[in-house]
Structure 1
C-alpha cells in the first residue's frame, strides 16, 4: 500500500466520483389487546371495552428481570453527558396528544454525517409535528448541528437550508451522487425528502426530482449499493396505512382515557427499494424481489450477513415476521423464516424495532440483534453459517430486556477490548399507563451490556444518564471527540437528546486501537458492506453497514484493537470489499486513524491516508 498526502487524496477522490400477517405475539405494541371505536366517535360501554391488564405471568417475569443500575454490579463503562453547553438546543416533538395519533408512539431518530468533510461527525435530528398535519403549520423543524470540536456544536440548519414542515421519522446518510459529500434521506409520514449536499455546507431538497418522494409512512431507511453497479441505492421501510380520520379509540371508554392502539389496527405497507441509475432513481422493488412482502417495517440494516460479499437486507417488523433478504446477483430472496431470523425461539413474531449486527462471539460470522416490546425479550440470532441462525437472546443476553420497550441499539466495542458491547435505549409508548392501571413505566432506563467472551453481562452504573429513566427512541454512535472510542447520541420523546462521551477506555486501551475509514473506487465510495478482519485468534471482525439501530444512522467507520497492551503495530487486516476483491493491509500504527482508498481495479494495493 502507499501512504499519500491529503492534497493528492482529495484529487483522487474527486476523480473517483443520496406475506401475510402471522398471529400476534403475546404482548403487542404500542397497546396490546385494545378494543376500539371508530375515529371521532364518542366512546361508550356499548361500542368499546377497556384494554385488559397484562397477564400475571408476564408481569412477574418483567418484575424479576428489572435491571439494577446501582450497587452490586461491576462498573464496566463510564459515560458523561456533554449536552449542557454543547450548543445543541433541539427538543424533539413526537406529536403525542389526547387523541393518541399512532405515528407519535414511534417517535423519531437522528443521523451522523460530515457536512464539511473536516473529519468531525455532525448530527441531523428528525423532528415530528402535531396532528392533524397541515402543510403551512408553523412549528419545530429538523435540525442540523455542525461539530466544532471539544464538544461544541453550531446549529447550521438555516444556513444549510434544511427543514420543511411535516412529520420526519428516520434519517439515512450516504453519498447518493458520488461527489464525496454526505447526502441525507429523511423518511416521513407523507412524502419523504432527500437533501443533496452542494459541497459548500448547503443542501437542496430533490426527492421529487429524483423520484424518491414516497408518499407512504416511511420509517427507517438505508443507503448502500444494493446491486454492485457502483451507485448508491435506497431501501425504505414503510409502516402502515393510518390517517387522522381513521384514528381509532383504544383504552378505557368509561373514563375516556385513551392509549395508543395495537399495531394490528394498522394494515402494513410494503417497503420500497429505489435503484440508482446515475441520473435518478426507479422503484425496483418488484424487479429485485421484495415487493410481495409487507410487515410494518421499523428497522433496516444492510450488511454482508452471509459472507458472500453481496449486500443483504435485514428488516425488523412490528408484530410480523422479520425479513432477511439475501443478495443474489442484483436480486433478493427472502429467507427470514427458513433462516431462523423471523421469529423468537418459540416461533412467535415480535414487535421488532431496532437492529444491530456484529460478530458477537468472534467466530467470523455476523450475528443479528433485534429490540422488542415489554415482556418480549430482545432477540439475538446467532449465525451458524450457511444462512442458518439460532435465536439465543434469553441465554446470551439473560437479563435486562423483558421489563422494557427497546428501540435504538448498537453493538459497539465501547471499552476497546476487541469484543462488541451492547447498548439499548428504552421507553414505553404510552404515558397513560398509570391512569389505566397497566403494568409498565413510560420513562425507562437505557441499558448497557459488556460482552464477556460472547455472552452479555448487564453493566452497573455507567454515568448519571443511565441512572435516570428516559423515553428513548433513536440512537446513533460516532467518535465525536476523535479520541478513538465511540460516543453516543440518543433521541427522546418530547425532550432534548442525550449526548454521551465515552470515557471507558484508559489511555493504554486507547493507544491499542486503529480507526479505519474505507472509500471504494471499484465499489461504491461508501464501501458498504465491506468486512474487515484482524488476523488474530479468535478473529476480530469489523464491518461497514448501512442503517441499523432505529430510525437512525451511525458514523460508518471501523475500529480494531490490538490484543497486546504495548503493541505499536496492528496485525494484518484483511479487507473484503463489496465488489468481491480482497486486500490485506499490514503494519498499521496503533493509536491512529486511517482512510483506506481502494485501488481503481480492485487488485492493486490500496492508498492509505494517515489522519493527523
Structure 2
C-alpha cells in the first residue's frame, strides 16, 4: 500500500487578522525544512489566484477583544454546481459580529461565487438568496430533495440553516424541515461540521450534524497562557454536545431526530469533523468522527440504519499511548484502490497527524510514523485535512491546513506561531 513519503510545504499562509510572510519572525517552520530531510522537488506547485479570479471575501470572526471561544474556528467552504451548468461554483461560509459589538459597514454574510468557466468567478450571493448573516462554521452540500440541483446545510453557533435550491435561488426551509439543530435543553447548539448520508438506504439523504461544546458568551471562561492577559478558552473547560442524526422523511415533511434510536447520541464527544465511508465494504455507509480532546468515534452501520461505535476496539479512538488527541479535520480514502481504507485526522500542536489504516476486519493501525507523517506534522496545529490526488498519479495525497488559535502564542511557546504554513504530502 502506498505511503505518504514526501512532503511539500506550500508557500503562503494567512491568519484571521493579516498575514505573516515566510522567513519572518513568528512564522512556524516544519522541523525538517532546510535540513537533511528536506523533501525532494516533486513538480507540484501552487499559486495564489483568489484576487485575480474575483474572490474577494475577508472572513469575519467578530473579535472585539474579549476572546470568545468561537473566534478560534475559521469557517468552511464548498464547491457546488449551484446553477447546474457543469462548472463548479464556490461557497464561502462567513461568521458574524457579536450582538452589541457590531462593526462598521456592511454586515458579514455568506458568499457564493459563480464560475464563469474562464478561471474567474462573479459574486452571485444576493441574486441566489444567500446573503444571510449567521455565525457560520461549515457547509454540507447535497440534493436532499432529489430535484436535480444541490442544496446547502450551514452549521453555526446558534441555529443552523437548510437552504433549498430551486433553479439557482435558495430559500430557507430550516423551520419547515425541523433541522435547526438546537438541543431540547441547554443553550443553543454550536454545530461545526455536517454530512449528508443515506443511513438506511431508503433512497433519501439523511443529515448527520457534529456539535462541539456547550458554550455561551455568559459562560466564556477566563483562561491565560501568560499568567496575566486573557487567552481563548479550551474545550476541556466545557461539557460536550452530542452529534445529531436526522432522518429524511421525504415529500417535504419535517426530518426526524433519530440520534437516540440510531445509536449516535453521545455527549462525550466534542466533534469538529465527520467523514462518510463504507470501511468494511458491506454496502452500508459508516461514519468516522473527529473529536477535540475526547476519543474519536467510528460508527459502524449495522445494516439497518443504526450504528455501533467501534472506535476503541478498532484502534481509532486514541493515540498509540491510549490518549485522546485534539482531533479536528478528518477525511477518508482508499489508499491502494483495494478497499483498505484509511482515516486521516488533523490534531492540535504537538500532536501529529493520525493516519489510521485498515489492517483487518474492524481493525485499524495508526501508520503516520511509517508513512513519514509524524515528524513534519508534530509542531503545526492542523485544522483542516483532505485527501486528493494533486499530482494525478492515481494515489491519494494529503493536504493539511495549519494555524494556531492564539495570536500571542509565540510569546510563551517559541516553536509556535499564529500563522502557519499549510503542508502537502504526496502519496
Both proteins in one fold, TM over 0.5 = yes
Give the secondary structure class of the aligned counterpart of 2:47. Answer: strand
Please point out which of 173, 182, 197 is paired with 1:224: 197
Shift of 1:412: 1.1
Shift of 1:408: 1.3
1:77-476 matches, cutoff 5 A: 77-132=44-99, 139-199=107-167, 201-215=168-182, 216-251=189-224, 255=228, 257-278=229-250, 279-328=253-302, 329-396=304-371, 397-436=373-412, 439-451=415-427
Q: Distance in 2 between matches of 1:205 and 1:64?
A: 44
Residues 137-185 of structure 1 show CA distances to partners (whole Å, capped at 9, x for unaligned) of 9621010111111211010000011132220101000011000100000
Give the secondary structure class of the aligned counterpart of 1:85. Answer: helix
Over the aligned positions, Cα root-mean-square deviation in angstroms equals 2.2
- Aligned residues between the structures: 388
CA contact (8 A) 2:274 2:331 kept: no
Give the secondary structure class of the aligned counterpart of 1:409. Answer: strand
Greater relative CO (CA pairs within 8 A, separation 6+): 1
Q: Distance in 2 between matches of 1:392 and 1:372?
A: 15
Flag structure 2 segments of 5+ consecutive residues without an equivalent: 1-27, 183-188
Shift of 1:444: 0.4
Q: Distance in 1 between matches of 2:209 and 2:100?
A: 22
**Cα gap change, 1:243/1:358 in structure 2, threshold over 3 Å: closer, same or farther?**
same
Could you say which structure has the larger radius of gyration? 1
CA contact (8 A) 1:358 1:368 kept: yes
TM-score, with length taken from structure 1: 0.61
Q: Distance in 1 between matches of 2:355 and 2:287?
A: 16
Flag structure 1 segments of 5+ consecutive residues without an equivalent: 1-61, 452-612
Q: Distance in 1 between matches of 2:52 and 2:89?
A: 16
Q: Distance in 1 between matches of 2:56 and 2:90?
A: 12
Runs of 4+ off more than 6 Å: 133-137
1:491-530 matches, cutoff 5 A: none
Please point out which of 73, 97, 101 is paired with 2:39: 73
TM-score, with length taken from structure 2: 0.86
Give the secondary structure class of the aligned counterpart of 1:116. Answer: coil
Structure 2 residue aligned with 1:542: none
Shift of 1:93: 1.0
CA contact (8 A) 2:30 2:376 kept: no
Q: Distance in 2 between matches of 1:428 and 1:210?
A: 37
Shift of 1:436: 4.4
Give the secondary structure class of the aligned counterpart of 1:237. Answer: strand
